[in-house]
A and B are shown apart, each in its own frame.
Chain A
Amino acid sequence: MARNVSTRRKLAVTAVAWTIGILIFFPILWTFLTSFKTEAQAIASPPAFLFFDWTTENYFEVQSRSNYFKHFMNSVVVSFGSTLLGLIIAIPAAWAMAFAPTKRTKDVLMWMLSTKMMPPVGVLVPMYLMFRNSGLLDTRTGLVIVLTLINLPIIIWMLYTYFKEIPGEILEAARMDGASLAKEIIYVLTPMAIPGIASTLLLNIILAWNEAFWTLNLSAAKAAPLTAFIASYSSPEGLFYAKLSAASTMAIAPILILGWFSQKQLVRGLTFGAVK
Chain B
Amino acid sequence: MNLRTFLLGTCSAVALAGLAQAETLTIATVNNGDMIRMQKLTDDFTSKNPDIQLEWVTLEENVLRQRVTTDIATKGGQYDIMTIGTYEVPIWAKQGWLLPLDNLGADYDVDDLLPAIRSGLTIDGKLYAAPFYGESSMVMYRKDLFEKAGLTMPDAPTWDFIAEAARKITDKDNEIYGICLRGKAGWGENMAFLTATANAFGARWFDEKWQPQFDQPEWKNTLDFYVKLMNDAGPPGASSNGFNENLSLFQTGKCGMWIDATVAASFVTNPKESTVADKVGFALAPDTGLGKRGNWLWAWNLAIPAGSQKTEAAEKFIAWATGKDYLKLVAEKEGWANVPPGTRTSLYENPEYQKAAPFAKMTLDSINAADPKNPAVKPVPYVGVQFVAIPEFQGLGTAVGQVFSAALAGQMSVDQALASAQQLSTREMTKAGYIK
- Which residues of A are at the interface with B, using a C-beta cutoff of 8 A? 38-40, 43-45, 65-66, 124-125, 128-129, 132, 137-138, 216-217, 220-221, 224, 228, 231-240
Is B60 touching A236 in the complex (CB atoms < 8 A)?
yes
- Give me the 3 closest cross-chain CB pairs, A-B, nearest first: A232-B58, A234-B60, A43-B248
Let me know if B30 is at the binding interface, CB within 8 A: yes
| Complexed CA–CA distance, A240 and B77 (Å) | 31
The complex places the Cα of A224 from the Cα of B77 at a distance, in Å, of: 16
Q: B125-143: contact bitstring with A at CB < 8 Å (1 yes, 0 no)?
A: 0000000000000000000
Indicate if the CB atoms of A40 and B60 lie closer than 8 Å: no
B74–A231 touching, CB < 8 Å:
no
Q: A231 touching B70 by the CB < 8 A rule?
A: no
Give the docked Cα–Cα distance between A137 and B58 (Å): 17
Instruction: Decide: A239 and B248 in contact? CB cutoff 8 A.
Output: yes
CB-CB under 8 A from B33, the residues of chain A are 238
Q: Determine the residue in chain A with the shortest Cβ distance to B251.
A: A43
The residues of A that contact B59 with a CB separation of less than 8 Å are 216, 228, 231-232
Identity of the chain B residue whose Cβ is nearest the Cβ of A125 in the assembled complex: B74
Contact present for B272 and A239 (CB under 8 Å): no
Interface magnitude class on chain B: 35 or more
B244 engages A128 (CB within 8 Å): no
Q: Are A235 and B57 in contact (CB under 8 A)?
A: no
Q: Which residues of chain A have C-beta atoms less than 8 A from B63's C-beta? A: 216, 231, 234
- 19 further contact pairs, Cβ within 8 A, besides A221-B26, A237-B32: A40-B274, A43-B248, A43-B252, A45-B248, A125-B70, A125-B74, A129-B74, A137-B78, A217-B67, A220-B26, A220-B57, A232-B31, A235-B30, A235-B60, A237-B61, A238-B31, A238-B33, A239-B247, A239-B248
A63 to chain B, nearest CB (A): 13
How long is the Cα–Cα vector from A97 to B403 in the complex, in angstroms?
A: 49
Binding site for A on B (CB under 8 A): 26, 28, 30-33, 36, 39-40, 55-63, 66-67, 70-71, 73-79, 188, 242-244, 247-248, 251-252, 254, 261, 263-264, 267, 272-275
Partner of A231, one of B32, B60, B243, B267: B60
Q: Which residue of A lies closest to B54 (CB)?
A: A221
B39 surroundings in chain A (CB, below 8 A)? 65
Question: Smallest CB–CB gap between A128 and chain B, Å?
Answer: 5
A40 CB contact (under 8 Å) in B32, B243, B273: B273
In angstroms, Cα B63 to Cα A172, docked, is 53
B62 touches A132 (CB 8 A): no
CB of A236 within 8 A of CB of B243, answer yes
Shortest beta-carbon distance from B287 to chain A in Å? 25
Cα A128 to Cα B77 in complex, Å, equals: 11
* Chain A min CB distance to B333 (Å): 15
Return B37 CB to nearest CB of chain A, in Å: 11
Q: Which of A138, A216, A231, A240 has the most B CB atoms < 10 Å from its CB?
A: A231
Could you list 6 examples of A-B contacts with CB < 8 Å? A220-B78, A231-B63, A234-B63, A236-B242, A238-B32, A238-B33
CA distance A235 to B79 in the complex (A): 21
**Contact yes or no, B57 A239, CB < 8 A:** no
Interface pair A221/B56, CB less than 8 Å apart: yes
Q: What B residues does A43 contact at CB under 8 A?
A: 248, 251-252
B180: min CB distance to chain A, Å: 14
Query: CB < 8 Å: which of A45, A66, A132, A237 contacts B74?
Result: A132
Q: Which residue of A lies closest to B26 (CB)?
A: A221
> Which residues of the partner chain A approach B60 to less than 8 Å between Cβ atoms?
231-232, 234-236
A43 to B74, CA, bound (A): 40
Residue from B70, B247, B252 in contact with A128 in the complex, judged by beta carbons closer than 8 Å: B70
Closest residue of B by beta carbon distance from A234: B60
CA distance A137 to B60 in the complex (A): 20
Which residues of the other chain, B, contact A138 by a CB distance below 8 angstroms? 78
Contact A45 B61 (CB under 8 A): no
Distance between Cα atoms of A221 and B188 in the complex (Å): 27
With A43-B248, A221-B26, A236-B242 in contact, do A132 and B70 touch (Cβ < 8 Å)? no
In the complex, chain A residues whose CB is within 8 Å of the CB of B261: 237
Residue pair A236, B62 in contact (C-beta under 8 Å): yes
A234 proximity list for chain B (CB < 8 A) = 31, 60, 63
**Nearest A-chain residue to B184, judged by Cβ:** A236
Q: In the complex, A39→B252 CA distance in Å?
A: 12
- Choose among A45, A124, A233, A236 the residue with the greatest number of B CB atoms under 10 Å from its CB: A236
A239 with B244, Cβ < 8 A, contacts A40-B273, A234-B31 known: yes
Shortest beta-carbon distance, A69 to chain B, in Å?
Answer: 16
**CB-based contact B273/A239 at 8 Å:** yes
Indicate if the CB atoms of A128 and B273 lie closer than 8 Å. no
Name the A residues within 8 Å of B264 (CB-CB): 237
- Shortest distance in angstroms between A169's beta carbon and chain B's nearest beta carbon? 53
What B residues does A39 contact at CB under 8 A?
Answer: 272-273
* Contact of B28 (CB < 8 Å), options: A128, A220, A233: A220
Contacts of B275 in A (CB 8 A): 40
Question: How far is the CB of B394 from the nearest CB of chain A, in Å?
Answer: 14
Which residues of chain A are near B28, meaning CB under 8 Å? 220
Assembly CA distance A91 to B247 (angstroms): 53
Name the distance in Å between A129's Cβ and chain B's nearest Cβ: 5
CA distance A19 to B85 in the complex (A): 46
Q: How far is the CB of A178 from chain B (nearest CB, A)?
A: 54
- Which of the listed residues A44, A221, A228, A238 has the most CB atoms from chain B within 10 Å of its own CB? A238
What residues of chain A lie closer than 8 Å to B252, measured between beta carbons?
43-45
Q: Is the CB of A239 within 8 A of B267?
A: yes
Instruction: Tell me which of B57, B75, B77, B267 contacts A221 (CB under 8 A).
Output: B57
Q: Are B32 and A217 in contact (CB under 8 A)?
A: no
* CB nearest to B260 among chain A residues: A237
Q: Which residues of the other chain, A, contact B40 by a CB distance below 8 angstroms?
A: 65
Neighbouring B residues of A66 by C-beta, 8 Å: 58
Which residues on A sit within 8 Å (CB–CB) of B74? 125, 128-129, 132
Q: How far is the CB of A236 from chain B (nearest CB, A)?
A: 5
A240 partner residues in chain B, CB cutoff 8 A: 31
Q: How far is the CB of B296 from chain A (nearest CB, A)?
A: 13
Q: B66: which A residues are within 8 A, CB to CB?
A: 217
Residues of B within 8 A of A129 (CB): 74
A65 to B37, CA, bound (A): 10
Q: Which residues from chain B contact A44 at a C-beta distance below 8 Å?
A: 252
